[in-house]
Structure 1
Amino acid sequence: MSSEVAELKKIVEALQKDVTRLSDESEIRKLQYKYGYYLDKCLYKEVTQLYSNSPETCVEFIGGKYKGKAGVERLYLGRFAPRFVEGRNGPVHGFLLDHPQMQGIIDIEPSGTHAKARFRALMQAGTHKSVQDTHPRGFVQWWEGGLYENQYIKEDGVWKIFKLKYFPFWHASFEKGWANKEIGEFVPFDTKTFPEDQTGPDEIGEQVMLWPDTRVVPFHYTHPVTGQQVRDDDLRAPGWGEDVKDSKPALSLG
């Protein structure tokens, strides 16, 4: 009987771990989805409150790295809010900035307090013709596709964004499509750091990529069958018929 009880305890413990993991995955998925919904409507104060207060917290965006909660607030409150909604917290009439969050793959680390996830964004943005004379963007409409490779942290039982890494993959005007887009046409890459640029990043990154560059954003997870990571050379994108060794180096998540 004692052996049966011991076995039942093991089963219960395993089930408890599975339930906790599934619950954590659900909370992280909801966290990322809520991030997208707040971002849709330029609720930047609410966005920043989703981030951890850890000094290691950061955002990597358009070739720049914004460090700590101060860097996070500089990006959303100091850069995005003035440019898109004249500094207010919330939307302005006639400006579209939808950020659907899709295809989430979430992995909880053994510690149970950290996690990694990959999400896809397919953004629709622009201005209505009725505000083209009053909104600083004029009359514009564009698409954007990108990937997130994020890290999350559980603080006092609550999951928060720890390190957000967004890789914009392509931009396209609604009229011309992605085949005709120019690099930096819609969102320019960072070139100056804070404080020279009062709303700039703390560091300029080296991994600047945008269509027609089609290098693979690395996966935080291994292959589910082989347990192997994708080879670096297979993450690169040589020209048709060209040697992969002559192409740009593979991207990294480091």
Structure 2
Amino acid sequence: MEQTIRRLEEKLEQLTEQVGILEDTQSIRKLHHQYGYYLDQCLYNEVVELFADNGVAYFMGGIYKGKAKGVRRLYIERFQNRFTKGHNGPIYGFLLDHPQMQDVITVSPDRKTAKARFRCLMQAGLHESAEGQARQWWEGGLYENEYVNEDGVWKIKTLNYRGLWHGDFDKGWAHTPPNLYPFPTVTFPEDPIGPDELITDPKPWLWPDTAVVPFHYPHPVTGEKWEAKKPTNV
């Protein structure tokens, strides 16, 4: 009887841990999807509040450090001022939709941190009847993020967005000029809305250059970790 009770207690502990990891996984998926919805609606203030205080954002070859400084500089002082003229929320004629999908989420054994990979496909533009230059474009990218559980609440620790390719709506991505969007070369404060640090290793790239954004997880069958190799032209 005692052995049976111990086995049941061990099984209960195991199942409790498995349920906890599933709950964490769902919370992280929900958090990132909510990030996507907030960003699509230009609710940049709400986006910033999803980060931990020491949160970091990687974007277009630059690193923005700290929720109150770097992250806010990116989303409020750069995106909000550029796309919605300082307004927190959508404005007439501006479109930004980038659905989040193909998530692979890995919770650490202690359930205090996690990593996740998401893919997004963006459609964006400014309507011809809105103030400004009418335009529309496609964009594809990947997120390789880190999350932290603070007092039972999952938050973004590192948001690492890698825009991979862009394309005009009418011409398509096959006709995208190389280096269409230049990466930053100057940091804050010399550039008031620039990153705190430049990413130089690995060197940033955009389509038609190609490379693999490193996977945070090992191969599920072999257990091997994928190692980056130099891209080749075939």
Give the TM-score band, short-chain normalised.
Answer: over 0.9
- 3-state SS of paired residue (2:51): coil
Displacement of 1:184 in angstroms is 4.5
Please give the alpha-carbon distance, in whole angstroms, between the structure 1 residues aligned to 2:178 and 2:107: 36
Q: Which runs of 5+ in 1 are unaligned?
A: 241-254
1:202 aligns with 2:200: no
Cross-structure match for 1:88: 87
Q: Residues of 1 paired with 2:109 and 2:231: CA distance?
A: 34
Q: Aligned residue for 1:75?
A: 74
> Paired residue for 2:8?
8
Map Cα deviations across residues 99-118 of structure 1 (whole Å, 9 max, x no partner).
21111100001121100000
Say if 2:212 and 2:228, in contact at 8 Å, map to a contact too: no
Matched residues in 2 for 1:42 and 1:182: separation? 28
- Answer yes or no: is 1:171 the counterpart of 2:166: yes
Q: CA deviation at 1:129?
A: 1.4
TM-score w.r.t. the length of structure 2 is 0.96
Q: How many residues align?
A: 231
Greater strand proportion: 2
1:106 partner letter: I
Name the residue aligned to 2:153.
158
1:223 aligns with 2:219: yes
Equivalent position amino acid for 2:95 in 1 = L
Q: Distance in 2 between matches of 1:90 and 1:125?
A: 15
Amino acid in the other structure paired with 1:150: N
- Asked if the contact 2:115/2:144 (under 8 Å) is kept, the reply is yes
Segments of 4+ moved more than 4 angstroms:
none
Aligned residues with identical type, % of pairs: 53
Distance 1:48 1:183 in 2: 31
Residue 239 in 1 paired to residue 229 in 2? no
What's the Cα RMSD here? 1.0
1:113-144 CA distance string (max 9 Å, x none): 1000000010100011111xx22xx0110000
Query: How do 1:1-254 residues align onto structure 2 when only pairs under 5 Å count?
Result: 1-54=1-54, 57-69=55-67, 70-131=69-130, 134-135=131-132, 138-185=133-180, 187-206=181-200, 207-233=203-229, 236-240=230-234
Task: List alignment gaps of at least 5 residues for structure 2.
Answer: none
